[in-house]
Amino acid sequence: MSTKHIPAIKYVPTICPYCGCGCGIYLVVKDAKILGIEPWEAHPINEGKVCIKGNRAHEFIDKEDRLKKPLLKERGEFREARWDEAIKIIAEKFKSYSPDEIGVLSSAKCTNEENYLMQKFARAVLKTPNVDHCARLCHASTVVGLSQTFGAGAMTNSIPDIEDSECIFIIGSNTFEQHPLIARRVMLSKAKGAKLIVADPRYTPTAKQADLHLPFYSGTDIALMNSMMQVILKKGLENKEFIESRTKDFDKLKQEVMKEEYSLVNVSRITGVAGEDIEKAAVWMAESKATTLLYSMGITQHTVGTENVMTTANLQMLTGNVGRAGTGINALRGQNNVQGACDVGALAATYPGYKRVTDKAAIKKLEEVWGTDIASGKVGLTITEMMDMLEGKMEGHLKALYIMGENPMLSDPDLKEVEGGLRKLDFLVVQDIFMTETAELANVVLPASCWAEKDGTFTNTSRRVQRVRKAVEPPGEAREDWRIICQIAGAMGYGKQFSYESAGDIFDEITKVTPQYGGMNYERLEAVEGLQWPCPTADHPGTKWLYSEKFSTDDGLGHFKPAEHKPPAEAPDSEYPLILTTGRLYFHWHTGTMTRRSKTLDSEVKAACVEINGEDAKELGIKNGQLVNVSTRRGKIKVMAKVTPDIKKGEIFMPFHFKEAAANLLTNNVLDPVAKIPEFKACAAKIAKG
Ligand code: SF4
């Protein structure tokens, strides 16, 4: 009897590449191909459950249009090139620019190891301080706002301990669609009796699960929360012991929030929410034994994003809801590794471990470990500033950009201006897995590997560092991003500083310069399937929640930082009477590069739409499904109207995944002055029949 050779099936444990939940999944591999995804029952975050995106995360990997060879643009057309040819051109061009003339964009989709190398490449090889990534566009205000109040810009608690909350306040987050495996914990908590309050201008799937929905106007977060704090103080429900022993500047907070401006009557007018509902929410939060606050980009993407974040911190400190299970400020990070990219220094103002770029001791340490002098002592340009400089809105001489895994041609505000700016570059290198809208503009395109084709780590939204494992080889001549960076560095004379054998070698170097990761290594991460930072020593078990005893500020106290309500930079007026807010859909992800190439996800939602309230639609004579023109002062797009009661009258909503109806053609490139995050969440708009 002949024996048949049956190829073995491998189950490779790894982490989902989409949202910041960081769910564990198995990639099912046969004949060097990924067949599908299997749930990982024992994974501590998702316990065997996945959402639709995680379940279909493999579908884009084998797409025909994956980049497989380096491409060089000549006379406006791309031609295929050899790797050595492309690397040589890049190295020569990069050497020709002064540090101020070049910038680097790293990527929240890539691993910690790759982000670490990208910022090292910028600072140690190009000697430029200009390195940033898309956290600037989603949670830069979290990093700044929480650093000023608590001393560190990260989610304070863990995903599983949401189940220990008695009251959950979600503001500016459609958790049920965007962080479904966090939403699961919310539902488990509700099943145990917790009350759920959701503040959102839209009646989202998250709001539909709420015991109390506060449908406030976009951009009135501070007014709403200051009013809640006034209620708490008037009723004497503040946690006096916590305030006395753990915080400072309570008097300043009290002075601000007790102003008449934040009375229930006034704030009801500002926010459009009934006064009794604001009062009820405040009392529920203050009377619960453990209240957690979850927020996302609805809070951060405003000109007052940093102050919004600080106000969430004020609210939780006022009621003593920090430093215990089921409490805290939980900033839900959007992308799979936006937390890690920040941790390892892919930010204009901080080195690995959030050391300020002006910190002399940190510079000395990096120069020792890296064995070279570095761009030092100067805060670099943020993404938004790089674009402003290219668009001529800011003085400077940026001439070249090296972009890894980012697509500013869809993700940045006011896209016409972005395109104009990128076209002015003398030299643009884009390293990605598909020909994105940004790659189309590049001089050199380098084919990279996706998450299933490389080893490394991602850090989820709750500071949990987890192993990502290579399951298959990249297609064609595509290479792992970290290897590409090392090759360019080598061609520029820094081979010694970039001589790594594996992703694990890079991780070991990260732990030397990132104190929060100091006690981690791959062996430990694999043994317990992830460790939450801070984990400073080899015997430290990691940290489930921060600030049990003291905050990370210099004096160990939580700092109240009162903020006043200020309207969005562009308020509705007679010409543009509606407020446009933007966001994501359940089935898609960011610029759609991956999800729109997934057969299943694409078949669920193929096109953009604009959500408009039934009353507004009736006044404008617009019917459900009709084509309409949505305009702002920056542009106009044609899109299908979705008439729905699920959005507040006066507001409209558009997803930003669709290049053919790119919402960011309309958004306002006006920045939070501290965090430099754009105001994606509110601008004045109008709609007319198409
Ligand atoms: Fe992936 Fe997020 Fe879905 Fe988990 S919840 S499977 S991490 S997209």
Per-residue pLDDT tens over the stretch 157-189: 999 999 999 999 999 999 998 899 999 999 999
Is the pLDDT at 3 greater than 60, yes or no? no
Residue-wise pLDDT for 341-372, tens only, equals 999 999 999 999 999 999 999 999 999 999 99
Tokens coding 160: 């599983």
Is the pLDDT at 202 greater than 60, yes or no? yes
Question: How far is residue 434's CA from residue 442's CA, in Å, rounded to a whole number?
Answer: 13
| Ligand 1 lined by 156 (C-beta under 6 Å) | no
| Ligand 1 lined by 53 (C-beta under 6 Å) | yes
| Ligand 1 lined by 50 (C-beta under 6 Å) | yes
Atom of ligand 1 nearest to the CA of 182: 5
| Ligand 1 lined by 46 (C-beta under 6 Å) | yes
Nearby residues of 110 by Cβ (< 8 Å), 6 or more positions away:
118, 337, 341, 404, 405, 456, 481
Q: Is 197 exposed, middle or buried (0-12, 13-18, 19+ CB in 10 A)?
A: buried
Tokens coding 284: 């529920």
User: What average pLDDT score do residues 561-583 get?
Assistant: 90
Residue with CA at minimum distance from ligand 1 atom 1 = 54
Is the pLDDT at 149 greater than 60, yes or no? yes
The partner residues of 652 in beta bridges, in order of sequence, read 580, 612
Question: Quick one: which of 71, 609, 659 has its CA closest to 419?
Answer: 659
Query: Residue 4: pLDDT band by 50, 70, 90 thresholds?
Result: low
422 within 8 A of 449, measured Cβ to Cβ: no
Please tell me the predicted confidence (pLDDT) of residue 300. Answer: 87
User: What average pLDDT score do residues 609-624 get?
Assistant: 92
Tokens coding 623: 């019917």
Residue-wise pLDDT for 228-274, tens only, equals 999 999 999 999 999 999 999 999 999 999 999 999 999 999 999 99
Query: Residue 598: pLDDT band by 50, 70, 90 thresholds?
Result: confident
Residue with CA at minimum distance from ligand 1 atom 4 = 23
Cα distances from 254 to residues 91, 258, 563, in angstroms, run 57, 6, 11
Going from the Cα of 511 to the center of ligand 1, the distance in angstroms, rounded, reads: 27
Question: How far is residue 48's CA from residue 184's CA, in Å, rounded to a whole number?
Answer: 12
Lowest-confidence pick of 490-504, 568-582, 596-610, 625-639: 596-610
Going from the Cα of 53 to the center of ligand 1, the distance in angstroms, rounded, reads: 6
Going from the Cα of 173 to the center of ligand 1, the distance in angstroms, rounded, reads: 15
Query: Residue 1: pLDDT band by 50, 70, 90 thresholds?
Result: very low
298 within 8 A of 173, measured Cβ to Cβ: yes
The partner residues of 198 in beta bridges, in order of sequence, read 170, 213
Atom of ligand 1 nearest to the CA of 57: 1
Is the pLDDT at 473 greater than 80, yes or no? yes
Going from the Cα of 54 to the center of ligand 1, the distance in angstroms, rounded, reads: 5
Tokens coding 516: 């929060």
3-state secondary structure 404-419: ECCCHHHHCCCHHHHH
Nearby residues of 212 by Cβ (< 8 Å), 6 or more positions away:
195, 196, 197, 198, 277, 280, 281, 284
What is the SS3 assignment for 576?
Answer: coil
Going from the Cα of 195 to the center of ligand 1, the distance in angstroms, rounded, reads: 24
| Ligand 1 lined by 21 (C-beta under 6 Å) | yes
Cα distances from 675 to residues 196, 306, 308, 654, in angstroms, run 30, 7, 12, 24
Query: Residue 2: pLDDT band by 50, 70, 90 thresholds?
Result: low
| Ligand 1 lined by 45 (C-beta under 6 Å) | no
| Ligand 1 lined by 183 (C-beta under 6 Å) | no
- For a ligand 1 pocket test, name from 14, 162, 181, 336 the mutation site with the most ligand atoms within 8 angstroms of its C-beta: 181
193 within 8 A of 165, measured Cβ to Cβ: no
Question: How far is residue 300's CA from residue 140's CA, in Å, rounded to a whole number?
Answer: 8
Atom of ligand 1 nearest to the CA of 16: 1
Please tell me the predicted confidence (pLDDT) of residue 491. Answer: 98
| Ligand 1 lined by 23 (C-beta under 6 Å) | yes
| Ligand 1 lined by 15 (C-beta under 6 Å) | no
Going from the Cα of 85 to the center of ligand 1, the distance in angstroms, rounded, reads: 39
| Ligand 1 lined by 568 (C-beta under 6 Å) | no
* Residue 422: its H or E element: helix 415-423
Is the pLDDT at 73 greater than 70, yes or no? yes
Residue-wise pLDDT for 80-122, tens only, equals 999 999 999 999 999 999 999 999 999 999 999 999 999 999 9
Please tell me the predicted confidence (pLDDT) of residue 214. Answer: 97
38 within 8 A of 419, measured Cβ to Cβ: no
Query: Residue 679: pLDDT band by 50, 70, 90 thresholds?
Result: confident
Q: Report the relative pairing of strands 635-644 and 651-655 from DSSP bridges.
A: unpaired
Residue-wise pLDDT for 374-388, tens only, equals 977 889 999 889 988
Question: Quick one: which of 390, 406, 396, 402 has its CA closest to 428?
Answer: 402
Nearby residues of 226 by Cβ (< 8 Å), 6 or more positions away:
256, 257, 262, 267, 311, 563, 564, 565
| Stated length of the chain | 690
Q: Report the relative pairing of strands 212-214 and 195-199 from DSSP bridges.
A: parallel
